[in-house]
Amino acid sequence: MVPRAPSTPSCNTPGYSWPSQTLVVASHNTNGTRRVGVGAGHLMALLVFTHGLGASAGFWGSTIDTLRSHDGLSGHTFKDWSYRTSKRPFLTKALGRSRYQDLSEIGEQMWSNLRNWSEGHEAVVLVGHSMGGLVTAAASVYGFTSGDDQDIGLCNKLRGLLCIASPFAGANQARNLEALYKRLGVKNKQIADLLPDSENRRTLIQDFTRTVLAHSDIDFFLMRAADDAVISPGDITSPFSQDQYQMDVLSGDHSECVSNLRLADDNVAKLVVAIRQILNPDSLGKELVLFKSRAVTIRSEYHKRLSQMEEGLDIMAWGLVSFREDYGHELREWANAGTRVRILLVNPHSPEGDVLCRLQDRIECRPSGSTAADVQMFLDSVCPITNKLEIRVSKYHPGVNLFRIDTDIFFGPYLAGTVSRNSPTGIVSEGHWLYDRLSSHFNWLWRKASIWPMSENSA
């Protein structure tokens, strides 16, 4: 086994930081704010993507280029790696059994390539889809157990594995493929490794757990596809705890969850967050500032950004009473100037929205009907300029109060027993993982909402 170099301290060691990596700086100010900033520096990482059974290098489609162009991953090197694989029996028979290696052999091949590819990079992240996730685990096991001194440096560079829709517990569909191969008198090592009762895969997982996860600082994240029918576990129990390792759920089926993604796709934001979390688990962005309350107490923070606004404004809230009072006139000016403004409110006229508004009244200890009245008053106030604004109403709870002004997001919870303007508020900048998650949350609700004013036939 090749452990991390003895001289390398843990990331939890006091005073230690990874070379050229951003550092967290936190301090409490006398005005009740907490500022979390980051130091200078940029980690140059190699991100290696690999596909699953029967796929090829083109499997990812536009996804890798999309991630490469994302501001949150700028400056890193992206590598699309492919290995020999097939789930077509006639090809397996024609090419010969030896042409298709098992998981351990493919992992060794991947690690051998990593030795060269990692030169000049400070960090390595492996991203595997489906069986590709098992391949990344096999590669790391080989590296950590090779006994070769040159692998110590590479083991120290390996920051983490992101495995998407990967059948660590085996795949029920592998049974059907194995039965077909058996009838044709053909054996495929890779399909055999994916059988739920595969001893080879179980041994790989045991080695990965004992030699990699238990003895290194490597991050290991799992993502699953929401509509995955390929590796639906059924009666198969996953060897890894979902609470400990599952990072997120991607929309789509087994393949489309990561294939041909565009910048506007929610799955891209989730992948970026996961990769950035691996590269820097402590701080992922410019800064995060926290305040004890919002509205009047931090009006200057809103005002200085709104007065210099260039890209646009996104708002998600309940009644926007303070905003209407403070910026009602400016809202008209922004609309007339062509500034993009998107406002998302709960629909007080829908059955679901009516219930949510009444519940919000109870949470904030206000008379019944107060929240719905605030929402309607805001909608009435912007009625003359509705055609110049983008306003939508939703039947879903907003979850958080959100204002995006250019590249900064103001956000905060809705706490019981107090009106929202007295709740804590944070400001997070673009490039931080939380910015991506909040943006994704807003965009999902925006797409589900109805345009205001609503037609008679609107849902």
Residue type, 115: R
In a domain, 18, yes or no: no
Flag whether 138 is in a domain: yes
Q: How confident is the model at residue 13, as a pLDDT?
A: 31
Q: What is the pLDDT along the chain (459 residues), one digit of tens a residue?
A: 443 333 333 333 333 222 222 222 333 333 343 333 332 235 789 999 999 988 888 899 999 999 999 877 888 999 999 998 865 544 545 445 445 688 999 999 999 999 999 999 999 999 999 999 999 999 999 999 998 888 999 999 999 999 999 999 888 777 777 777 777 676 778 888 888 888 999 999 999 999 998 877 889 999 989 888 887 654 445 677 666 777 788 989 999 999 999 988 888 988 988 898 888 765 444 467 777 766 555 676 787 788 888 888 898 888 787 777 777 778 878 877 878 889 998 888 889 888 998 888 888 788 888 888 888 888 887 766 656 678 898 888 888 889 999 989 999 887 776 666 677 888 888 878 788 889 989 999 999 888 877 544 444
> Which of 236, 256, 279 is the last residue before a domain boundary?
279
CATH number for the domain that contains residue 330: 3.30.870.10
**Whole-number pLDDT of residue 29:** 38
Instruction: Indicate if 270 and 302 belong to the same structural domain.
Output: no
Does a structural domain hold residue 219?
A: yes
Kindly state whether residues 248 and 148 are assigned to the same domain. Answer: yes
Give yes or no: residues 217 and 135 share one domain: yes
Burial 128-161 (b: 16+ CB within 10 A, else e): bbbbbbbbbbbbbbbbbebeeeebbebbbbbbbb
In a domain, 8, yes or no: no
Q: Whole-angstrom Cα distance, residue 254 to residue 171?
A: 12
Domain-terminating residue out of 252, 279, 306: 279
Answer yes or no: are the C-beta atoms of 165 and 238 closer than 8 Å. no
Indicate whether 271 and 420 sit together in one domain: no
Cα pseudo-dihedral 331, 336, 340, 341, rounded to 10: 30
Q: Is 397 found in the same domain as 274? A: no
Closest among 132, 159, 134 to 259, alpha carbons compared: 132
**Are 326 and 375 contained in the same domain?**
yes
pTM: 0.58
Instruction: Please say whether the beta carbons of 36 and 287 come within 8 A.
Output: yes
Same domain, 216 and 348: no
Q: Do 246 and 113 sit in the same domain of this protein? A: yes
Identify the three-state secondary structure at position 67: helix
Q: 274 and 297: one domain?
A: no
Same domain, 346 and 226: no
pLDDT of residue 391: 87
Contact (CB, 8 A) for 100 and 53: no
* The last residue of a domain, from among 248, 279, 310: 279
Would you state the pLDDT for residue 387?
62
Asked if residue 425 belongs to a domain, the reply is: yes
Q: What is the dihedral of CA 330, 332, 336, 342, to 10 degrees?
A: 90
CATH number for 65: 3.40.50.1820
Instruction: Report d(CA 82, CA 69) in Å as an integer.
Output: 22
Residues 206 and 213: beta-carbon distance below 8 Å? no
Number of structural domains the chain divides into: 2
3-state secondary structure of 27: strand
Q: Is residue 31 in a domain? A: no
Q: Are residues 139 and 237 in the same domain?
A: yes
Residue 32 covered by a domain: no
Per-residue confidence (pLDDT) for residue 90, from 0 to 100: 47
Q: 255 in a domain, yes or no?
A: yes
Same domain, 245 and 325: no
Domain that holds residue 364: 290-451
pLDDT of residue 295: 55
